[in-house]
């Protein structure tokens, strides 16, 4: 249980409330049927984080650092036992915690200034701060984090250190009193790592609780931490001041060599390089006296009376792994990070800030999505070009089949081509859009990451940190994408309708276009459902495979040789399963095999296929009883399909109703969107 107050206005209020947890336990299963393979990740750990302190969670790989952080933030709730408490009120509110993940998921097509302004609009209402005050707030945060010189740079072009600082800046907009960071120095060089930790130290001095996991810090970085929490094999083996590490280890008979990094030696001990001391260290770690360093009061008094040069307090905000010479002329000496952001802003900005309404957030998200659609040429410009080219090619291929009685079967076949083309080109992007990288998946950097921003990870990060609710994002995404999908479908339908010589009647053209539009938006919803529900399918299959392997005795208790790394291949699995399901839907549409030739059971299954209703509606649009006779070429002795209803009789849809098929497609669209929203929420919760 976590208890907090709704908002902290001053640093003094923050300092009064520690963050505590007791007897946390977590077991990690391998799949849904892999209960026998459960591995203990955390084994009854307890601890306390104090406001105004910078805390490091350390330990060897697999010790449970990220697992503990995920539990403390509420990012992980399943399979966890124990008690969490914030402050003394006993509330269960998590609203004051912000979590910055190890991977910096940012919108790649927006500049630093744009993404900061949008975050500010989503977090602070216009009643609290007007536009000019929001601009001042954003500029001051960027200046404090040394990001002003790259404020017009797109996020895709930022270096690792800049991305990390931007992630921190985004969460500082609403001034959270508790800030969690997972591996903030991963992928950064020593200079950038030192600056990042120094920045976090300055934020902690303002009264915030700053907690981060870190793998192997340098001696300089290690001594910057006020509090260190070390894990090994799911146990807490040390919690106390970084300056007390060497005396603590000496108390259990482990003497750190002279001139040896205390952090390195501590990790060597937890890796059992000098023997297994886990139980002894876990017992000694319960002593609270190690938390306070005897040097801390002296250091604080010296810092109060001795001025420290800016260059010594914080190195320049320069990422050595960013080699753009254009930034050289814009860098300036960094000021000490001991001045709070609040002190440099008007009093109005330090007061309690109201959140925007969900309607206001909806409009902001729609604006963001529209800008993203416009800037992503692969989603708009390229797709429009492909639709036009394919429509022209298909129109040339089928020619005058719409009016020529000898080509009526080809015309009916063209309807299936239209349905499948629009279905595939909408379904596959929908599946890929729902790609989600789990935290245990391999990390990717560089150009590949820029092209693949993992929108689901961005959504989970922003919704978890209370930027907006999932339903708000879902509605905004739907309202933004639907007009684009409808426009593309109309362009395609208009070209093929004219080039295949369909009846020159406005009513039939509108009916034809409406069916293809409905087919497209149903495919979009089906792609969302498939992309979000695929995790559940793969986890079930993976867990069942482990269960079978264990029963057969072909693997050990760890089951690793039988596990499928499905989390790395969800995109490929989604496109594959989507293609297979589309093929079956195509078979049941009534064209390859007529309904009269199907068994009763298979005919019943065909009612589940949306392709059936799209195909039947298109055929009824072109060949209903009100249509005049088709043209039979003069060089043909006999044309069997001169009468339009002949096609309907052979396909067995004489009694078909266009309106019924359209209404059914609308029902399919609504149902798949509702189910897709449910699976999306479940995916983000379980991911």
Residue 585 located in a structural domain: yes
| Distance, CA of 172 to CA of 563 (rounded, Å) | 40
Residue 558 located in a structural domain: yes
| Distance, CA of 248 to CA of 263 (rounded, Å) | 12
Residue 630 located in a structural domain: yes
The pLDDT assigned to 542 comes to 58
Cα 429–chain centre separation: 16
Give the 3-state secondary structure of residue 61.
coil
| Distance, CA of 350 to CA of 315 (rounded, Å) | 28
Angle between the N-to-C axes of helices 506-552 and 408-433, in degrees from 0 to 180, rounded to the nearest 10: 50
Single out the residue of 137, 142, 141 nearest to residue 124, CA to CA.
137
Region 678-687 average pLDDT: 80
Residue corresponding to tokens 């744009």: 114
Structure token pair of residue 395: 């129109």
pLDDT per residue as tens digits for the range 625-674: 888 888 888 887 778 878 888 888 888 888 889 999 999 999 999 999 99
Give the structural domain span for 660: 358-686
Phi, psi dihedral angles at 118 (to 5 degrees) = -65, -40
Count up the domains in the chain and report the number: 2
Indicate whether 681 pLDDT > 60: yes
Residue 655 located in a structural domain: yes
| Distance, CA of 81 to CA of 22 (rounded, Å) | 9
Region 171-198 average pLDDT: 86
Residue 517 located in a structural domain: yes
Same domain, 365 and 255: no
Indicate whether 521 pLDDT > 90: yes
Phi, psi dihedral angles at 228 (to 5 degrees) = -125, 130
Helices (H) and strands (E) in the chain, counts: 25, 9
Indicate whether 529 pLDDT > 90: no
β-pairing, 209-213 vs 178-181, is parallel
Same domain, 285 and 365: no
The pLDDT assigned to 599 comes to 85
Indicate whether 10 pLDDT > 80: no
More confident residue, 175 or 34: 175
Residue 151 located in a structural domain: no
Q: Are 179 and 208 in contact (CB under 8 A)?
A: yes
Indicate whether 166 pLDDT > 50: yes
pLDDT band, residue 437 (cuts 50/70/90): low
Single out the residue of 101, 98, 99, 87 nearest to residue 2, CA to CA.
87
Q: Residue 213's beta-bridge partner residues?
A: 57
The pLDDT assigned to 668 comes to 95
Structure token pair of residue 62: 């697999």
| Distance, CA of 609 to CA of 582 (rounded, Å) | 9
Same domain, 87 and 209: yes
More confident residue, 647 or 115: 115
Q: How many beta carbons lie within 10 A of that of residue 7, not counting itself?
A: 15
Same domain, 410 and 313: no
Same domain, 297 and 364: no
Same domain, 425 and 501: yes
Residue 134 located in a structural domain: no
Region 571-592 average pLDDT: 78
| Distance, CA of 93 to CA of 99 (rounded, Å) | 15
Q: How many beta carbons lie within 10 A of that of residue 569, not counting itself?
A: 12
| Distance, CA of 295 to CA of 302 (rounded, Å) | 11
Give the 3-state secondary structure of residue 26.
strand
For the purposes of burial, counting CB atoms within 10 Å of the CB of 206, is it exposed (0-12), middle (13-18) or buried (19 or more)? buried
The pLDDT assigned to 679 comes to 87
Phi, psi dihedral angles at 582 (to 5 degrees) = -65, -40
The pLDDT assigned to 398 comes to 92
Please report how many Cα atoms fall inside a 13 Å half-sphere around the Cα of residue 44, on the Cβ side: 4
Same domain, 286 and 380: no
Q: From residue 374, how far is each of 94, 99, 168, 245, 481 by CA, in Å?
A: 36, 30, 27, 54, 12
Same domain, 307 and 456: no
Please report how many Cα atoms fall inside a 13 Å half-sphere around the Cα of residue 133, on the Cβ side: 16
Give the residue from 296, 321, 346 where a domain finishes: 321
Give the residue from 295, 321, 347 where a domain finishes: 321
Residue corresponding to tokens 């109703």: 657
Same domain, 290 and 190: yes
Q: From residue 94, how far is each of 7, 74, 182, 519, 645 by CA, in Å?
A: 11, 8, 18, 42, 65
| Maximum mean pLDDT: which of 16-20, 214-218, 290-294, 368-372 | 368-372
- CATH number for the domain that contains residue 207: 3.40.50.300
Same domain, 387 and 294: no
Please report how many Cα atoms fall inside a 13 Å half-sphere around the Cα of residue 503, on the Cβ side: 23
Q: How many beta carbons lie within 10 A of that of residue 508, not counting itself?
A: 18
Percent of the chain with pLDDT over 90: 26
Q: What is the rounded (10 degree) CA torsion for 140, 142, 143, 145?
A: 120
More confident residue, 175 or 659: 659
Percent of the chain with pLDDT over 70: 76
pLDDT per residue as tens digits for the range 64-105: 888 888 888 887 777 788 888 776 544 444 667 888 888 888
Residues whose CB falls within 8 Å of the CB of residue 391, separated by 6 or more in sequence, listed in order = 491, 492, 495, 496, 499
Same domain, 315 and 362: no
Region 253-275 average pLDDT: 86
Three-state helix/strand/coil letters over 499-528? HCCCCCCHHHHHHHHHHHHHHHHHHHHHHH
Strands of the sheet containing 19-28, edge to edge, are 39-49, 19-28, 80-86
The pLDDT assigned to 480 comes to 93
Give the residue from 274, 301, 321 where a domain finishes: 321
Residue 644 located in a structural domain: yes
The radius of gyration of the chain's CA atoms, rounded to the nearest angstrom, is: 31
| Distance, CA of 214 to CA of 660 (rounded, Å) | 61
Q: How many beta carbons lie within 10 A of that of residue 315, not counting itself?
A: 15
Of 123-137, 464-478, 636-650, where does mean pLDDT reach its minimum? 636-650
The pLDDT assigned to 187 comes to 77
Whole-structure pTM value: 0.79
Cα 213–chain centre separation: 21
Same domain, 261 and 376: no
């Amino acid at each position: 249980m976590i208890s907090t107050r709704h908002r902290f206005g001053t640093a003094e209020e923050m300092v009064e409330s520690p963050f505590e947890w007791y007897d946390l336990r977590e077991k990690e299963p391998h799949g849904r049927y892999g209960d026998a393979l459960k591995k203990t990740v955390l084994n009854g750990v307890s601890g306390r984080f104090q406001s105004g302190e910078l805390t490091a969670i350390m330990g060897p790989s697999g010790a449970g650092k990220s697992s503990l952080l995920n539990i403390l933030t509420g990012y992980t709730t399943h399979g966890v036992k124990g008690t969490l408490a914030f402050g003394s009120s006993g509330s269960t509110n998590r609203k004051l915690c912000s979590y910055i993940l190890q991977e910096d998921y940012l919108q790649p097509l927006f500049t630093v200034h744009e993404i900061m302004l949008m975050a500010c609009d989503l977090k602070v209402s216009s009643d609290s701060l007007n536009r000019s005050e929001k601009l001042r707030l954003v500029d001051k945060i960027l200046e404090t984090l040394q990001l002003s010189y790259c404020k017009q740079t797109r996020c895709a072009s930022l270096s690792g250190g800049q991305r990390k600082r931007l992630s921190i800046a985004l969460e500082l907009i609403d001034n959270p009193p508790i800030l969690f960071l997972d591996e903030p120095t991963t992928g950064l060089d020593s200079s950038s790592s030192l600056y990042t930790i120094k920045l976090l130290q300055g934020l902690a001095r303002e009264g915030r609780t700053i907690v981060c996991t870190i793998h192997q810090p340098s001696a300089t970085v290690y001594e910057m931490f006020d509090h260190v929490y070390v894990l090994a094999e799911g146990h807490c083996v040390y919690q106390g001041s970084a300056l007390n590490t060497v005396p603590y280890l000496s108390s259990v008979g482990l003497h750190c060599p002279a001139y040896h990094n205390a952090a390195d030696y501590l990790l060597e001990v937890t890796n059992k390089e000098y023997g297994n001391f886990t139980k002894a260290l876990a017992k000694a770690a319960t002593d609270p006296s190690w938390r306070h360093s005897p040097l801390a009061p002296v250091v604080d008094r010296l810092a109060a009376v001795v001025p420290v040069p800016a260059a010594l307090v914080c190195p320049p905000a320069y990422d050595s792994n960013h080699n753009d010479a254009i930034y050289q002329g814009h860098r300036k000496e960094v000021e000490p990070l001991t001045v709070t952001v609040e002190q440099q802003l008007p009093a109005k900005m330090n007061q309690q800030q109201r959140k925007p309404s969900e309607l206001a957030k909806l409009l902001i998200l729609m604006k963001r999505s529209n800008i993203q659609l416009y800037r992503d040429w692969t989603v708009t410009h390229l797709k429009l070009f492909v639709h036009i080219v394919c429509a022209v090619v298909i129109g040339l291929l089928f020619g005058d089949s719409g009016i020529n009685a000898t080509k009526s079967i080809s015309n009916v076949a063209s309807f299936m081509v239209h349905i499948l083309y629009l279905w595939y080109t909408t379904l596959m992007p929908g599946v890929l859009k729902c790609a989600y990288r789990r935290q245990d998946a391999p990390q990717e950097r560089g150009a590949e990451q820029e092209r693949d921003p993992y929108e689901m990870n961005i959504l989970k990060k922003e919704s978890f940190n209370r930027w907006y609710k999932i339903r708000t994002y879902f509605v905004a995404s739907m309202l933004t994408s639907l007009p684009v999908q409808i426009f593309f479908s109309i362009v395609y339908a208009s070209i093929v309708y004219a080039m295949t010589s369909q009846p020159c009647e406005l009513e039939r053209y509108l009916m034809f276009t409406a069916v293809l539009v409905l087919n497209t938006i149903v495919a979009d919803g089906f792609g969302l459902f498939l992309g979000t529900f695929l995790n559940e399918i793969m986890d079930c299959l993976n867990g069942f495979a482990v269960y079978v392997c264990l029963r057969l005795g072909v693997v050990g208790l760890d089951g690793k040789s039988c596990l499928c790394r499905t989390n790395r291949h969800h995109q490929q699995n989604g496109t594959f399963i989507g293609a297979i399901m589309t093929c079956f839907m195509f078979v049941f549409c009534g064209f390859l095999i007529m309904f009269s030739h199907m068994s009763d059971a298979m005919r019943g299954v065909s009612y589940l296929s949306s392709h059936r209703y799209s195909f039947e509606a298109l055929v009824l649009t072109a060949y209903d009883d009100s249509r005049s006779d088709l043209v039979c070429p003069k060089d043909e002795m006999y044309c069997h399909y001169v009468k339009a209803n002949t096609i309907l009789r052979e396909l067995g849809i004489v009694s078909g109703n266009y309106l019924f098929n359209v209404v059914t497609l609308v029902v399919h669209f609504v149902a798949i969107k509702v189910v897709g929203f449910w699976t999306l929420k479940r995916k983000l919760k379980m991911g």
